[in-house]
Structure 1
Amino acid sequence: MIRVRHNDYGVLRPPAIGDWTPELRVSVVIPAYDCQEALERTASALAAQTYPAELVEIVVADDGSTPPIELPGARVVRVTDGWGRGAARQTGQLAAIGEVIHWLDSDMILAPDHLEAHMRWHHLLDHVVVIGDIRFVTAPGEDGTRPEYTRKTLESTRMLKDAGTSAYLLHTGASTSVRAELLRAAGGVDASLNMAEDTELGYRLAQAGAVFVPDPQARAWHVGPSTVMLREKEVHRHNWSYLGDLVPDLRWLRGHPRRHWRVPYVRVVVSATTYEETRASVDAALAGTLPDAAVTVVGPWGRLTGERRSSLDDPLLDLRLLHNLYAHEPRVTFAESEPVTAAPTPFLLRLPAGWVLGADTLARLVRLADEDVLGLLCVALAEDADGVVAARLERTAAFARAARFDGPADDLVDELFGVLWVEGGEHGFGTAADPPPLGGDPAKWRALAARRLAETKELRDQVDRLSAEVERLSRAQEQEDPAPGPLSSLIRHLRSAG
């Protein structure tokens, strides 16, 4: 299987349309609500596809239409668990039997080779997500245009080849396709979302290792403007109320310094040792400048039972104290073993016992990893008889993609994303024996900065007022005595200082 670095799918060579033999079965899943007429038009376009009809099934997820949707040649399933686009998409894909799920809106007109254009990529690679070329028209038969955001994104990223980790932002339910196995690995569709479910799913597909391919030959036309085109600000107002919780990559939605977020940006994994040592590591991770970090403490928590024991001589005392300490901290979880993946969290930091992070360490490591979209950042901390003691910042997407190939994981991650070694002391790592102070309140520093800015503005206003006064006096002096005087020199000084 071909290996794609980052999202540069240019190494893939899809066959020409009409010049290959399809094998995979595709399920076209269409969520539908009171759209019988538009759906019939879409079904007519599906009936005329060049992809073999025996390899195509159409699944319509009827989200409570009145009267119920009926479509000959399609399997109609009723949405009974919830409502909305997320519930309909999830209901439809759960009913589908194809090896590939092809999402399609109900008001689409498809070129005859639309499905074939999609499917040729899935025969090359089992972790591609293909994005159709959607043009918006007011009536059938028009050429149409791409949405402006889509056009600019494709032009600025070489058709997503240079999009790095943000390629998923073009994932849409109007016409995208994905292997059913990859969809299951990502967790399926969030049935609770009625809008932006396609963006949120695209993010999780990215964490599952997906490569996003926009295919200009997968042509389709959307009749009528999208909701975003008609009510963009209202759509953003609605969607951003919850996307910040679910998609940590959208950093601008996480401006609050003290919020607890459902999906962390980085999960730090610490093995439980002594109470003091482990507490130093966990507390430092929670006190950093990256506010949406979470910690998993690994230990034999199942051994903590409730029978009578000596409170001070319990052989599991340190473990019990750690559990007491963080039992009600929402950013700390307990696990019996190290997690294989942090998905859907984009980064996982494996921190050796006895080591602590500086205030800005985590933020600096993430910035360094993002500069070249690295898959692994190894931090050398010390050397002992067993070799180098290192912390590891792992990119979830990189390790998920590497897991699809045979070979050592780190070597594959290096090939697919890149690996870099750095020295711990240069990035603020310390030991639990001498942890950095946790004192200092970020809010106080922000308040101090705000006061200093206000003071600076007031001083600049004073300079402006003085400059204006000196200018007035200077003009008056020049009218009496044309020779340069001290006021002119003062004006030049004030202007240079301001």
Structure 2
Amino acid sequence: MTSRVRHNDYGVLRPPAIGAWQPSLTVSVVIPAYNCAEPLSRTVEALARQTYPAELVEVVVADDGSEPPLDVPGARVVRVAEGWGRGAARQTGQLAASGAVIHWLDSDMLLAEDHLEAHMRWHHLIDYAVVIGDTRFVETPGEEGVQSAYTRKTLESTRRLKDAGSSAYLQHTGASSSVRADLLRAAGGVDTGLNMAEDTELGYRLAQAGAVFIPDAEARAWHVGPSTVMLREKEVHRHNWSYLGDLIPDLRWLRNHPRRHWLVPYLRVVVTATTYEQTRASVDSALAGTLTDAAVTLVGPWGKLTGERRANLDDPLLDLRLLHNLYAHEPRVVFAESVPSSAAPSPFLLHLPTGWVLGADTLAKLVRHADKDLLGLVSVALTEGQHGVVAARLERTAAFSRAALFDGRPDDLVDEMYGSEWVSGSEYDFVTAEDAEPLTGDAAKWRTLASRRQGEIKALQGEVARLKAEVERLSAAATPQPAESGGRGPLSSLIRHLRSAG
């Protein structure tokens, strides 16, 4: 692997033409199946006719409780032993697979003979590709078929995902997609508890692991019959959105409740425990902001807190113990012995120096700034210390995960593939614990509202000044009005209005 893809713009890659290269990677085609012997046999027969070398291909069918059990010539059948549904079947199949690449396939697919080859040429170029086949829906075999309306619209509006940014994973589907086995396992494999939308949720976690999503028009396949989404779209969304809000923080419209606790935080703040007061000020500010699905990892030697007899007020670990007491039952605070290397599956990680306090809207503003240009790192200069600049760091999980796939300095790699910037702490409302306002009631909400209104006032004052200057220019050039008008023309009215507004 040598190519470094920026964001999701895989256009820098030059895959070989089909039939004009020499494959070497093994691939396991994993097919979840349930009571579908006839269409499944058709799919497996199509796999036997592939141009990709047969000695590099294995077919694994994950039988999700079919009765009678499936017997599929040309495939290795593994029975789902724990759980049921597509998530459990996909995970069972991929755990049994031995290939360097896992190729997901639905059980009712018709494949062009070069389908596998089209997928696999990308995996020979980079090892963080997720390749998505060109699936058309047909009523009967032999038809040309059509893409889903959502897929067609997305591909057309994003230059086939090159401009899709952090949302490219939404095109990930289990009907025909492929990924390196080690990247899949680094992302955590398939969620066995999901029976619908498991491919979308997996796509999200693959994105956080650094994946680039590549839709290949030459990886042709046909799905016999419409998808469930085509038939019952509103019901599918009603079902899936009941839990995807917990699992995919990137779907912001599913998190519009102002006080809910969510399973996967949108942003994780890391604070190292020092004194009780300084640490508490930092942690509490992270929990009190307008970005309500933020969580905190509090780092310290928590294993030293044992239950032996001690002098309560003279305990050498007193501050550490007080912090543990304070946040022991706060679900948004977790205790860790060391700084986490990644916030995955959360999309953002903020390293906050202890003793620095966030403004009510600080986290939301930082994320908005990072998302404007899909930056991988935003460094916040806070002050000049004895050992150099004291800074907070907002890191995009996907960017640092991708950087970890290469040799080199992570910050430099992130800057190359995502971009990075320095900003001023005062611009984003960072203050020291000593200078911070108390957090009481709905202070976060009202402080943020006041800050926004101040910004609006400044903008309006600037507009008034501009209009006054324009009026003065027009006044100097205008022909004097007749005396009988009494100075009541539209220009005079505008001048009076602006003077009163000033």
TM-score after normalising by structure 2: 0.88
1:258 is aligned to 259
Cα shift readout 1:346-400 (whole Å, capped 9, x = no counterpart): 0000001110100000000000000000000000000012110000000000000
Query: What is the rounded CA distance, in whole Å, between the counterparts of 2:170 and 2:30 in structure 1?
Result: 21
- In the other structure, the counterpart of 1:422 is 423
Regions of 4+ moved over 2 Å: 439-445
**Seq. identity, %:** 79
Amino acid at match of 2:133: G
Q: Which amino acid aligns with 1:227?
A: T
Q: Do the aligned partners of 2:36 and 2:107 also contact (CA within 8 Å) in 1?
A: yes
**Separation in structure 1 between the aligned mates of residue 336 and residue 177 of structure 2, nearest angstrom:** 36
Deviation of 1:439 after TM superposition, in Å, equals 2.2
Match in the other structure for 1:156 = 157
Q: Which residue of 1 aligns with 2:62?
A: 61
Superposed CA deviations along residues 428-487 of structure 1, whole A, max 9, x for unmatched, are 001111223312428997xx9xxxxxxxxxxxxxxxxxxxxxxxxxxxxxxxxxxxxxxx
- Distance (Å, rounded) in 2 between the aligned partners of 1:356 and 1:271: 13
Distance 2:95 2:218 in 1: 28
For residue 433 of structure 1, give the secondary structure of its aligned residue in structure 2. Answer: helix
| Bigger shift: residues 432-441 or 51-60 | 432-441
Return the alpha-carbon distance in structure 2 between the equivalents of residues 283 and 371 of structure 1.
27
Q: State how far apart, in whole Å, the 1-side matches of 2:421 and 2:445 are.
A: 36
Asked whether the equivalents of residues 430 and 436 of structure 1 are also in contact (C-alpha less than 8 Å), the reply is no
Name the counterpart of 2:236: 235
Give the equivalent residue in structure 2 for 1:488: none
1:364–1:427 CA contact under 8 A, matched in 2: yes
**Shift in Å, 1:415:** 0.1
Aligned to 2:458: none
Match of 2:221 in 1: 220
Counterpart CA distance in 1 for 2:346 and 2:155 is 26
Distance 1:187 1:94 in 2: 11
Cα distance in 2, alignment partners of residues 315 and 195 from structure 1? 52
The one-letter amino acid paired with 2:89 is A
Q: Which amino acid aligns with 2:112?
A: A
Secondary structure in structure 2 of the residue aligned to 1:31: strand
Q: For residues 230 and 20 of structure 1, what CA distance do their matches in structure 2 show?
A: 41
1:353 is matched with: 354
Q: Counterparts of 1:106 and 1:42 in 2: how far apart (Å)?
A: 6
Contact in 1 for aligned 2:208/2:345 (Cα 8 Å): yes
Match of 1:318 in 2: 319
C-alpha separation between the residues in 2 aligned to 1:196 and 1:384? Answer: 49
Instruction: In structure 2, give the amino acid aligned to 1:432.
Output: A
- Give deviations 1:6-37, integer Å, cap 9, x for gaps: 00000000000000000000000000000000
SS of 2:354's partner is coil
- Cα shift readout 1:108-162 (whole Å, capped 9, x = no counterpart): 0000000000000000000000000000000000010000000000000000000
Q: Deviations over 1:46-85 (max 9, x none)?
A: 1110000010000000000011111111000000110000
1:256–1:361 Cα change, 3 Å: same
1:314 maps to a residue whose letter is D
Match of 1:284 in 2: 285
Matched position secondary structure for 2:345: coil
**Which residue identity is paired with 1:118?**
H
1:249 counterpart residue number: 250
Q: Using the alignment, how far apart are the partners of 1:154 and 1:438 within structure 2?
A: 46
Which residue number in structure 1 is paired with residue 208 of structure 2? 207
Alignment partner of 1:98: what SS? coil
Query: Where in structure 1 are there 5+ consecutive unaligned residues?
Result: 449-498
- TM-score, normalised to structure 1, is 0.89
Cα distance in 1 for residues equivalent to 2:92 and 2:337: 34
CA distance in 2, matches of 1:30, 1:381: 53
